[in-house]
Amino acid sequence: MSIIDRTTSTGPRYGALGTSPTRPDGIAKVQGTFEFSSDISADGCLFGATLRSPHPHARIVSIDLSAAWKINGVQAIVTAEDVPGKLTYGLISQDQPVFASDVVRYVGEPVAALAADDPEDARRALDAIEVTYELLPPLLDPELAISGEFDPIHPDGNVIRHQRIVHGDPDATAAIVVEGTYEIGMQDQAFLGLEAALAIPDPGGKGIEMHVATQWLHEDRQQIAACLGFEEDNVRLVLGGVGGAFGAREDISLQVHCSLLALRLGRPVRMAYSRAESFLGHVHRHPAQIWMRHHANADGSIVKIESRMVFDGGAYASTSSAVLINAITLAQGPYRCANAVVDGWAVRTNHLPCGAMRGFGAVQACFAYESQMDKLAAACGVGPFDIRLLNAMTTGDLLITGQPVLNVAPVEECLRETNALPLPDEPVGGHALLDGSMDAMKLPGGAGRTADVGDIVRGIGWGVSIKNLMYSESFDDYATARCRIEGGPDGPTVFLKFATAEVGQGFVTLAPQIARSVLGIDRVELDQIDTQVGSAGSTSASRQTWMSGGAVNAACELVRSLIFEHVAAVHGCPAVDLFIDHTDVVDPTTGRRFDVAEACADVSFDETAVYRHPDTSEIDENGQGNCHTAFAFVAHRAVVDVDPELGLVKVVQIATAQDVGVALNPLSVMGQIEGGIAQGLGMALMEEIIQVDGVIRNGNFTDYLLPTFLDMPPVVAKLIEQPDPLAPLGAKGVGEPPCISSTPAIVAAIRDALAQAGINAPLNRVPVRPGDICL
């Protein structure tokens, strides 16, 4: 894979936008000195731990702490009775108790927390807490939740949200009708850096400082402050090093528990989850069941879609209502569709709570509509590429919400450029080794019980998707950034301050690039990421390049105008005409150039800017309204080798062309593309949280399978660069699209291989298991 090298003599200088400078935290990360939240400690710090429900649904009869208090080293134990402020929290509706007091609603729900001198003391004390439960029947069937026939398991009821979309002529039909029911399993974000935080109480206990790995410092602060009964100003959050996020850190987990213990004791308290606890302690990707029917003309052009989508939100709402809206409003995919009837449900059950994960509702819808596109292609007698090209959306086309897509929408280019990428040169089963034997690592099944090469069939499949960027449905979505410039004897330095959570995606690389391009100054330092500046919003919804990038850009432009005024005053030229070219201020009226560093030798400017995207609307009872902000598109083509007898799959190659607007840092974009595809591959073939009777059965990395080096194929990628005039830097977010349509592309490739082997396997469910293929 070659990265576009734009560092030419005529292109931008190294470190500016369009180049790929190295990460400022890179050396610390490769040397092991970067401090992750789980590495942070403090003198005299105690260790917190959480007691969790073993039952999916039960009434708490009593909690007896007496035996736990007798364990050496136990310093504090807190339950629901000890919560001084709001008793519940949550991102959209505050429906989740800090600690369960009367009823537990999922296996893993926090019941109590304690702090001890040592983690082992804490663990033994947890074991000594005696909770008496009266078991209640669990609600585990989403359809039962919809039916109204199960007593509400929560005061807010068993339906989190129900929304219909009716668009165009609901009675329209056409010559070709295809339908199917699709199922998506529960995926885990599986970031590697486990949940961890350090809470340090202020002297006197009137406030608290928390160092925590999160996606959204200010939202965390708001929820923590409410539960502690504090003003927000008395809660200060500092971003602890974040070991990945992918949505799982958008909701709070241990924040309030850890804070309560620290305040109770007047001492720092550290909490860190184990992997097993992490599976219980954060929300997951919603499992979903989706029925879909397409009506199309004989040539394959879509006339109408119908769908019913049911998302299992688990015990608490989290972002379920927003996830559902993404799914139903994007149900047509990146295709023109004039008529639609869609019915969407997000329901409450006694399963693990679900919320944000990369792709956020678009993933589930995409597996359904892309499976349908292949059915439609087969019914119309056209190929999977052609059916997609025929229906490809473009700028100005309408969503089934009635919203026009105003962004650049290069769906056709994504398809054509993907199609132009070379297919793998490896033969089926891979190249033989030097001694003529097959390379087991290239075979489906790898080094285990591998396939015989003669049985292997190669298939090719397509997936194309649309993703909304930023927040929707009238949310006040903004980001803040501060830019300071200080002159000095060896030239000026730019300092950038923002609360944007760096979770690995590379905003800490991008922000200085923006400053260098706008200001023409190369030396840029980043201030600590904390709540001592306005909110940046969440690192989610592929929004930070656009939003925080927009804010950094705006703050730098304010400083730049002050620099221009300064230069104008010193040199007697009109400030309004000046512009930056590389590291010079240029006066176009005279052609004079002034070195920015020299011009700023003794200046000191400090400006803060807020970037907001244009307002979005609510949707009405028919699901109509301009509820989304912007859209991005991508195409994927998967090549797989399948052993139909053993049901084993080896993904050989993924080709992709992605609508990125502008690649501000091509190397980072490539990292997002490959990393997202790996998560899409996991969803397609191996990743699923299994719950039986409401109990998780595989909450560890031995049983929850993640793609390794051997599972992940080479990715060949093409970046479609059409600057989006609506984006502050012309660039679209790139994080989510790679994991959305890579999943259906892989499944389609398996279906294609099986069809060649004369097997008609529907593969209507992901992850695809060997038994789905060969039994």
Give contact residues for other proteins (rule: CB under 8 A): 1, 3, 20, 22-23, 25-36, 38-39, 120, 190-194, 241-244, 246, 274-275, 439, 441-442, 447, 503-506, 667-668, 670-671, 673-679, 700-702, 706-710, 712, 714-715
Least distance (Å) between residue 238 CB and other proteins: 18
Task: Answer yes or no: are the C-beta atoms of 97 and 87 closer than 8 Å.
Answer: yes
Cβ 699 to other proteins shortest distance, Å:
11
| Minimum CB distance to other proteins, residue 751 (Å) | 24
C-alpha radius of gyration, the chain, whole number: 27
Rounded to the nearest whole angstrom, what is the least distance from the CB of residue 503 to other proteins in the complex? Answer: 6
- Tokens 């990292």: give the residue: 671
- Angstrom CA distances, 102 to 120, 351, 387, 429, stand at 29, 18, 55, 58
Q: Compute the Cα dihedral for 351, 357, 359, 361 and give only its sign.
A: positive
301 DSSP 8-state letter? -
Token representation of residue 363: 């993933």
- Tally of CB atoms within 10 A around 182: 26
Determine contact, residues 73/121, Cβ cutoff 8 Å: yes
Cβ-based nearer residue to other proteins, 471 or 704? 704
Name the minimum Å distance from CB 231 to other proteins: 33
In whole angstroms, the minimum distance from the beta carbon of 164 to other proteins comes to: 37
Nearer to other proteins, 491 or 671 (CB): 671
Considering the complex, what minimum distance in angstroms separates the CB of residue 437 from other proteins? 13
* Least Å from the CB of residue 693 to other proteins: 24
Nearest distance from residue 738's CB to other proteins, in Å? 8
Closer to other proteins at the Cβ: 269 or 380?
269
Comparing CB distances to other proteins, the nearer of 447 and 775 is: 447
The count of other CB atoms within 10 Å of the CB of residue 435 is 5
Max Cα distance, the chain (Å): 85
Give the three-state DSSP class for 669: helix
Based on CB atoms, which residue is closest to other proteins, 669 or 763?
Answer: 669
Name which of 209, 217, 213 is nearest 263 in CA terms: 209
Q: Looking at 619-721, list the stretches that DSSP marks H as alpha helix, in order from N- to C-terminal side.
A: 666-685
**How far apart are CB 24 and other proteins at their closest, in Å?**
10
Considering the complex, what minimum distance in angstroms separates the CB of residue 664 from other proteins? 14
Q: Pick the closer one to other proteins by CB: 350 or 741.
A: 741
Nearest residue (CB) to other proteins, 20 versus 629: 20
How near is the Cβ of 36 to other proteins at its closest, in Å? 6
Tell me the CA distances in angstroms from 684 to 311, 328, 603, 748, one per residue in order: 18, 21, 56, 10
Cα separation, 655 vs 224, in Å, equals 44
Q: How far is the CB of 602 from other proteins (least distance, A)?
A: 32
**Residue among 217 and 609 whose Cβ is closer to other proteins:** 217
Note whether 546 and 734 are within 8 A (CB): no
Mapped onto helix, strand or coil, the DSSP state of residue 563 is helix
Taking the complex as a whole, the smallest distance from the CB of residue 274 to other proteins amounts, in Å, to 6
Give every CB contact of residue 117 below 8 A, 6+ residues apart in sequence. 46, 47, 72, 73, 75
119, burial (CB in 10 Å: exposed 0-12, middle 13-18, buried 19+): middle
**Closer to other proteins at the Cβ: 188 or 306?**
188
**In the complex with other proteins, which residue's Cβ is closer, 32 or 489?**
32
> Considering beta carbons, is residue 324 or 685 the nearer one to other proteins?
685
Residue with Cβ nearer other proteins (30 or 172)? 30
Instruction: Indicate the SS3 state at residue 304.
Output: strand
C-alpha to C-alpha distance for 94 and 648, rounded to whole angstroms: 44
Q: Tell the smallest beta-carbon distance from residue 6 to other proteins (Å).
A: 15
Tokens of residue 8, six digits: 């030419």
Segment (H or E) for 742: helix 742-756
HEC letters along 597-636: HHHCCCCEEEEEEEEECCCCCCCCCCCCCCCCCEEEEEEE
Per the CB < 8 A criterion, the answer to whether 535 and 479 are in contact is: yes
- The smaller minimum CB distance to other proteins, of residues 22 and 147, is found at 22
* Side chain identity at residue 614, one-letter code: P
Cβ neighbourhood burial of 692 (10 Å; 0-12, 13-18, 19+): exposed
Encoded amino acid at 731, one letter: A
Cα(753)–Cα(744) distance, integer angstroms: 14
345 neighbors 720 (Cβ within 8 angstroms): no
Question: Measured between alpha carbons, how far is residue 107 from residues 52, 58, 353 in Å?
Answer: 7, 10, 10
Helix, strand, coil shares of the chain, percent, nearest 5, are 25, 25, 45
CB of 188 to other proteins, least distance (A): 10
Among residues 38 and 548, whose Cβ is nearest to other proteins?
Answer: 38
Using CA atoms, how far residue 305 sits from 38, 173, 339, 730, in Å, is: 48, 9, 7, 32
Of 430, 342, 444, 335, which is closest to residue 384 (Cα–Cα)?
335
CB of 681 to other proteins, least distance (A): 8
Report the alpha-carbon distance of residue 307 to residue 131 in Å, rounded: 44
Looking at beta carbons only, is 403 or 539 nearer to other proteins? 539
- Please identify, using beta-carbon distances, which residue of 553 and 679 lies nearer to other proteins: 679
Rounded Cα gap, residues 439 and 443, in angstroms: 7
Residues 6+ apart with CB under 8 A from 140: 56, 349, 350, 351, 693, 694
- The nearer residue to other proteins, 291 or 701, going by C-beta atoms, is 701
CB of 272 to other proteins, least distance (A): 9
Residue 114, helix vs strand vs coil:
strand
Q: Which is nearer to other proteins, 227 or 716 (CB)?
A: 716
